[in-house]
Structure 1
Amino acid sequence: MTDFALLIGGERRSTPTTLDVVNPATGGLAGQAPNCTRADLDDAMAAAQRAFPSWAADEDARRQALREAAAALTAAATRIGTILTSENGKPLARAVEEVHGVAHWIGYFAGLDLPRETIYSDATKVIEVVRRPMGVVAAIAPWNYPLILASWKLAPALRAGNTVVLKPSPFTPLSTLAMGEVLAGALPPGVLNVVSGGDELGAWMSTHPVPRKISFTGSVATGRKVALSAAADLKRVTLELGGNDPAILLDDIDVDKVADGVFASAFQNSGQVCVSIKRVYVPARLHADVVEALADRAKRAVVGDPMLEQTQLGPVSNAPQYRRVLDLIEDSLGRGAVAVAGGGALDGPGYFVAPTVLRDVTDGMPVVDEEQFGPVLPVVPYTDLDEVMARVNGSMYGLGGSVWSADPERAATTAERMECGSAWINSHGGLLPFAPFGGVKWSGVGVENGPWGLASYTDIQTLHRAL
């Protein structure tokens, strides 16, 4: 185990109490995280506030510091990835890949311009639109991709000239604390502060008087609480919340080819991806073939110790989510669903659930209507495309969706009818730093990534210059 500490004003800080962090692959202890107090949080906010003026003033220095931070993370990828696997359960190769992804995101934003815009000019005046940093940003990241989703907040916030106080999930704080120490070697003291603690810490952050923006990724229920807390002080918010992404298969698909893509998206990270496929709609005449193809892939998937090279799927990342996934499977079976693969927990220690494919499921079942966030996939037959589109769009979720067809143009026309923030044709997922990402309806407020995400960490100033 490693000694983990808060990062406040560029310095490590221990706390009177700690939180146990469980290794989901074994049920044992992965490590202990510091439990941030209110006084610690006040100090972190004050440090970020002190660091803000000089950080905001020098754009060239910010770019260079971010490039150095990206390089430092690349060098530390294996060490941090190993910590991530121990607390999150994803296969080690995927964890190391996540750290490299953080470096890629930071490097992208380091090179992204934030130009002034001249919107009017004549002989007497010039009017410009200037993007100014907000101040201190409070960033709250989830447990499924704790590092890369933190970078979606850190990279644009810091590039824009803000300073940050970051809180990871209490289920996966260790890798974020380790990442924070590496980044602190490249950033001036106080520019990035990392605090860990329980759910109450997130509530303290969203009501704290210092931050001017809250950026949160997590559940719809918690996102509502963040929005309400932020509203009292008119803080700006970016909220990336839950999704229940549908995949609609059209009647001209190659079943084997499509099954590969659908299975890969639905079960990546053991199904714990906000924008992975959560439900599949299949023409009735192809339903049995698609179910069989997906079940075959589920049965062949290698589930086990995430530290082993051959492992494809690790455990569910924490005990509450493990219980929720098992409850959803049990509920669906009680309602008449059939598990053609999986159907429950695997024997042995840890939070392992067998990759589960369900047939005889319908809209109205919780396993279809709700976000499972685990290795379980319901496959629903349909007979009329217009009718299934109405069912898909009837959900209050609207994060992502996909359409699969041998005719890409037909698929694209269908995908454009989906009420979601991101739509894919013959693939699903694959997020990029330059592409905006966000949800509609209950799935979020605002977007992350690309110049749109960068702009969301700024305030607009309209500058009128008389000549």
Structure 2
Amino acid sequence: MTISDTQMLKIAATSGGKDLNASSSFSVINPATGRFFAEAPSITAEQLHGVFEVAQSAFATWKRDDNYRREVLREMANAVRNGVSSIAPILTAEQGKPLDVAASELMAAAAWFDYYAELEIPREVIRDDAAGYEEIFRRPLGVVSAITPWNFPIALAVWKIAPALRAGNTVVVKPSQFTPMSTLALGQLFRGIVPDGVLNVVSGTLGSAMVSDPIPRKVSFTGSTEIGKIVALNAADDLKRVTLELGGNDPAIILPDVNVSEVAETLFWNAFYNNGQLCYAVKRVYAHESIRAELTEALGEIARSVKVDDGTVAGARLGPINNEPQLSRVAELVEDATSNGARTVAGGSRIDRDGYFFQPTILDNVSDSTRVVAEEQFGPVLPVLSYTDIDDAIKRANKSEYGLTASVWSGDPERAYSIAGELDAGQVSINEHGRGVRPHLPFGGHKWSGVGVENGPWGLHGFTELQVVAGPPRV
């Protein structure tokens, strides 16, 4: 499938397995051109309440048949795999990532459905004897409100959809207004597979209503820490359960015994995958002074060699930044760093062409107080800092309001493992970054990086509540 430059793409919202007609729409920009390419439905808060009512009605039946839910998730996984060729171009057009990366995102989403289809929901008999019977169940919450970001629209939606549905909840998903089209397409893909009303996809200026509506009992949000705090406050008024996967400013500590030529490529792509628009990307590197110069130049050489282009162009490794506000933020952080003495090893400026392109940038001679180090840049920029004492590096890595992921790189893995436990992060990887982002492992942050976890049985538990059933002995 190709996305036409002349005909606006339009995809309807899904409610109850059917089109939800909207009286207005909003335009979606292709970040590779800076021009509108699609129209998404702008659903009103009143319509959204109706969607929640549809989801609530579907919940009564959906929650009852565990084996049926598993079979539906298996069919959803197959549908995603079969739909890669139709949805990946939409994802590239609205998000900017290269087509192969878009396809990989969809295949990962299918793997998440596969995983949850096979995951058992725990129930535990505590007592079953002449004195009585006691059993603990995990029951679904009801309707889940899922709010997703623009960097990985499909994958991060499925991180919510798969465990929520597996647990027996029904779901209403609202994607970012920067990237609604691929998620709307996903909603249409699942029609006829998922029972009507079980999974609904809407779009529009609905963030507040997605939290304040009285029907949903759980809000699962992925996005910025600033918005996450607002979500938490608004959800508290109704005591809605929340999972918040928020920002990160993730450090990588490079020990002096690494082979720079062996680790540089992996380190670079752990920072620049999806143009650095990844919550768990490497965002600041602490390199031992004895190897800092060599590592910085190796990273710069890779940055200068990477092909940056429209995601539909063959050989493009990086596309544009997703949206103009984020492009402006990245440019501002780089300018602030260079005006305060940072050395630009590679990149450093916007690419002179249509769209939101920025050069892959490596910065040297920066301090911990430089904004591009102290703040989450969420773009194709990587600052490299120097240290001489490992305890100092650990202290500086931990001196952040965030604590999502981190990594330690060493020729001696056991040495790296001993340091991992000192880092204040929800996940620490050795000689790779984000190694633990898998369907079966919990993903969540410390401090300002979030509340609760996604993925694994722990992620499923977040879409349930415990119920104890106790009584006389059972026959």
In the superposition, the TM-score normalised over structure 2's length comes to 0.97
Q: Is the 8 A contact 2:345 2:362 kept in 1?
A: yes
Asked whether 1:284 is paired with 2:321, we answer no
Instruction: Confirm or deny that 1:321 pairs with 2:326.
Output: yes
Partner of 2:74: 67
Match of 1:442 among 445, 448, 465: 448
Instruction: Give, in whole Å, the separation in 2 of the partners of 1:145 and 1:301.
Output: 21
Q: Is this contact kept in 1: 2:289–2:386, CA < 8 A? A: yes
Matched to 2:424, the amino acid is: E
Matches within 5 A, 1:305-344: 305-344=310-349
Give the equivalent residue in structure 1 for 2:98: 91
Q: Does 1:421 align with 2:426?
A: yes
Structure 2 equivalent of residue 267 of structure 1: 272
| Aligned residue in 2 for 1:432 | 438
Please state how far the C-alpha of 1:71 moved relative to its aligned partner.
1.1
Shift of 1:308: 1.8
User: Partner of 2:192 in structure 1?
Assistant: 185
Q: Secondary structure at the match of 2:471?
A: strand
CA distance in 2, matches of 1:164, 1:292: 48
Which residue, out of 455, 458, 461, partners 1:452?
458
Q: Secondary structure at the match of 1:57?
A: coil
**Matched letter for residue 323 of structure 1:** S
Q: How many pairs align?
A: 465
Displacement of 1:234 in angstroms is 0.3
CA displacement at 1:124 relative to structure 2 = 1.7
Contact kept, 8 Å, 1:93 with 1:309, in 2: the verdict is no
- Once residues 68 and 176 of structure 1 are traced to their aligned partners in structure 2, the CA distance between those partners, rounded to angstroms, is 17
> Partners in 2 of 1:128 and 1:434 — Cα distance?
26
State yes or no: 1:34 paired with 2:41: yes
Q: What is the CA distance between 1:3 and its match in structure 2?
A: 2.4
Counterparts of 1:269 and 1:310 in 2: how far apart (Å)?
Answer: 15
Equivalent position of 2:86 in the other structure: 79
- 1:126 positional shift: 2.1
User: For each residue in 1:243-262, what CA deviation from the matched residue of structure 2 results, as whole angstroms up to 9, or x when unmatched?
Assistant: 00000000111011111111
2:135 aligned residue: 128
Question: Is the partner of 1:420 in helix, strand or coil?
Answer: coil
Match of 1:377 among 376, 382, 388: 382
Asked if 2 retains the 8 angstrom alpha-carbon contact of 1:69 and 1:185, the reply is no
1:393 to 393, 398, 419: 398
Q: What is the percentage of aligned positions where both structures have the same residue?
A: 51
Rounded Cα–Cα distance in structure 1 between residues aligned with 2:129 and 2:140:
28
Alpha-carbon contact 1:83-1:174 (below 8 Å) kept: yes
Alignment of 1:224-303 (within 5 A): 224-303=229-308
Q: Which residue of structure 2 lines up, in the alignment, with residue 53 of structure 1? A: 60
Q: Distance in 1 between matches of 2:465 and 2:455?
A: 17
Partner deviation per Cα, 1:374-430 (whole Å, 9 max, x = no partner): 000000001111112111112110000000000000001111110000100000124
Report the equivalent of 1:114.
121
Secondary structure of the 2:275 match is helix
SS of residue in 1 equivalent to 2:403: coil
Q: Does 1:195 align with 2:205?
A: no
Give the secondary structure class of the aligned counterpart of 1:354: coil
Kindly report which structure 2 residues correspond to 1:340-351, keeping only aligned pairs within 5 A, or say none: 340-351=345-356
Aligned to 1:305, the other structure's residue is in SS state coil
Residue identity opposite 2:90 in structure 1? I
Which 4+ stretches in 1 moved above 3 angstroms? Answer: none
Cα drift, residue 128 of structure 1: 1.0
1:242 Cα offset (Å): 0.2
Q: Which moved more, 1:278-287 or 1:402-411?
A: 278-287
Contact 2:147 2:207 in 1 (8 A): yes
Do 2:9 and 2:37's aligned partners in 1 also have CA atoms closer than 8 Å? no
Distance in 1 separating the partners of 2:98 and 2:168 = 35
Contact 1:7 1:13 in 2 (8 A): yes
Q: Given residue 7 of structure 1, which amino acid in structure 2 is its aligned partner?
A: T
1:172 correspondence with 2:182: no
Farther-moved stretch of structure 1 (203-212 vs 117-126): 117-126
- CA apart distance, 1:184: 2.2
Contact 1:136 1:212 in 2 (8 A): yes
Cα deviation code 1:427-465 (max 9, x no counterpart) = 012421111100010000001001111111001001113
Equivalent-residue separation in structure 2 for 1:218 and 1:389 (angstroms): 27
Structure 1 unaligned spans of 5+: none
In 2, Cα distance between the equivalents of 1:309 and 1:183?
Answer: 30
Mapped partners of 2:37, 2:245: distance in 1: 28
SS at match of 2:344: strand
Where structure 2 has 5 or more consecutive residues not aligned to the other structure, the ranges are 1-7
TM-score, L = length of structure 1: 0.98
What's the secondary structure of 1:410's corresponding residue? helix
The alpha-carbon deviation at position 99 of structure 1 amounts to 1.2
- CA drift of 1:120 comes to 2.9
Match in the other structure for 1:365: 370
Q: Name 2:3's counterpart in structure 1.
A: none
Paired residues of 2:441 and 2:455 also in contact (CA < 8 A): yes
Corresponding residue SS for 1:81: helix
Q: Deviations over 1:195-233 (max 9, x none)?
A: 1013xx111111110000000000000000000000000
How far apart are 1:73 and its partner, in Å?
Answer: 1.4
